[in-house]
Amino acid sequence: MSALVPDGRLVVVSPHLDDAILSLGAALARIARAGGRVEVLTVFAGNPESEVPAGRWDAMGGFRTQGEAALARREEDRKACTRVGAVARWLPFSDAQYERVFSDNDVWDAVGSVCAGADAVLIPGFPLVHDDHVTLAELLLRGGLPVSRVGLYVESPYAIRAFSNGRALAVPERLRMLTGSAPPFEWQRAGVRDRTAKWRALGAYRTQLPHLGWLVGKPGAGSRQLRFAILRAGEAIAWLDERRPME
């Protein structure tokens, strides 16, 4: 999958309804602008029909039920993906704030079905501090995705806190044990046009930005301050094969 190949298809597996854009928004804008097909697949996108009381995180966003949160956050995600030229796709699994009512096989079958036929797939790879991110990355690497090219991406804004705590950018040991390799993360180029697209996309997550400040070491940070921090952090990918699909 190259930004210069107009008929390539890239699927970015996003644990939650914002992770892919927060982490790779500029790179995705660059690929889409060059003619590639970019799909953002959110796995734990929640059940829009659920009347289960909102979990702790969703309640912080002002939602009363899981279904209400899922509907509103999917709309935010749709807008964000559109602003970088990506197609938003969602699966109805709930995240860690809710009781788990599905199996690993359910997740694997659903993700594998969407990813089948893609030229490349990207999954979370660093720093893996959120349980949902860890669970998803390990499940997909253990099961093996039905594609020839798989990459790991640096998760923003979690990585910002990891760097401030002295962690080095490297594939975590728990993933190296599954892949048998430790490819280097490579920082992705981003021009003004693509960074602007990411800036606009970040602004779509209106219910989430107010609660993300602690991840960059700035509790209570305003939307603009947080968006600047995420843009400055950059974007990086480690490919598990020898090819460099996004050079």
Instruction: Write the pLDDT tens digit of every residue in 97-150.
Output: 999 999 999 999 999 999 999 999 999 999 999 999 999 999 999 988 888 899
- Collect all residues with Cβ–Cβ distance below 8 Å to 142 and sequence separation of at least 6: 178
In order of their start, the domains of the chain are 9-239 (3.40.50.10320)
pLDDT at 244 over 60: no
Q: Are 180 and 123 in contact (CB under 8 A)?
A: no
Report residue 223's pLDDT band, with 50, 70 and 90 as the boundaries. confident
Nearest to 89, CA basis, from 133, 41, 124: 41
Report residue 220's pLDDT band, with 50, 70 and 90 as the boundaries. low
Question: What's the whole-number average pLDDT of the chain?
Answer: 90
Share of the chain above pLDDT 70, in %: 91
For the record, the structure tokens of 176 come out as 């190296």
Q: Are 15 and 44 in contact (CB under 8 A)?
A: yes
* 217 compared with 21, residue with greater pLDDT: 21
Consecutive H or E run containing 121: strand 120-126
* pLDDT value, residue 218: 63
Nearest to 172, CA basis, from 120, 133, 143: 133
Give the residue-averaged pLDDT of 198-219.
84
Nearest to 160, CA basis, from 105, 101, 214: 214
Report residue 214's pLDDT band, with 50, 70 and 90 as the boundaries. low
Report residue 84's pLDDT band, with 50, 70 and 90 as the boundaries. very high
Give the residue-averaged pLDDT of 206-228.
77
* pLDDT value, residue 221: 61
* pLDDT value, residue 213: 73
* pLDDT value, residue 181: 82
| The dihedral sign for the CA sequence 165, 166, 168, 173 | negative
* pLDDT value, residue 225: 85
Report residue 215's pLDDT band, with 50, 70 and 90 as the boundaries. low
CB-neighbour burial class of residue 9 (10 A; exposed 0-12, middle 13-18, buried 19+): middle
